[in-house]
Amino acid sequence: MATNQEHVNLLGATGSPFVCRVQIALKLKGIEYEFVEENLATKSEQLLKYNPVHKKVPVFVHNEKPISESLVILEYIDEVWKQNPILPSDPHQRALARFWSKFIDDKIVSTSFKSVFSLDEKEREKNIEEATEALHFLENELKDKYFGGEEFNFVDIAAVFVAFWVPLVQDITELQLFTAEKFPKLYNWSQEFLDHPVVKETLPPREPLFAFFKGRYESLLAASK
Q: What burial class does residue 90 get, using C-beta atoms within 10 Å of its C-beta: 0-12 exposed, 13-18 middle, 19+ buried? A: exposed
Cβ of residue 141: shortest distance to its own copies, in angstroms?
9
- E strands, 51-129, are 59-62, 65-68
Cβ of residue 62: shortest distance to its own copies, in angstroms?
7
Contact partners, residue 178, CB within 8 Å, separation at least 6: 112, 135, 162, 166, 167, 170, 186, 187, 190
Q: Which chain residues interact with its own copies by CB under 8 A?
A: 53, 62, 65, 67-69, 72-73, 75-76, 79-80, 91-92, 94-96, 98-99, 102-103, 137
Cβ of residue 81: shortest distance to its own copies, in angstroms?
10
Dihedral in degrees, nearest 10, Cα atoms 26, 77, 102, 164: 0
Of 64 and 181, which has the nearer Cβ to its own copies?
Answer: 64
Cβ of residue 98: shortest distance to its own copies, in angstroms?
5
Of 1 and 53, which has the nearer Cβ to its own copies?
Answer: 53
Q: How far apart are CA 96 and CA 100, in angstroms?
A: 6
**Within a 10 A sphere around the Cβ of 203, how many other Cβ atoms?**
17
Q: How far apart are CA 204 and CA 24, in angstroms?
A: 11
Of 106 and 144, which has the nearer Cβ to its own copies?
Answer: 106
Of 80 and 220, which has the nearer Cβ to its own copies?
Answer: 80
Cβ of residue 107: shortest distance to its own copies, in angstroms?
8
Of 103 and 217, which has the nearer Cβ to its own copies?
Answer: 103
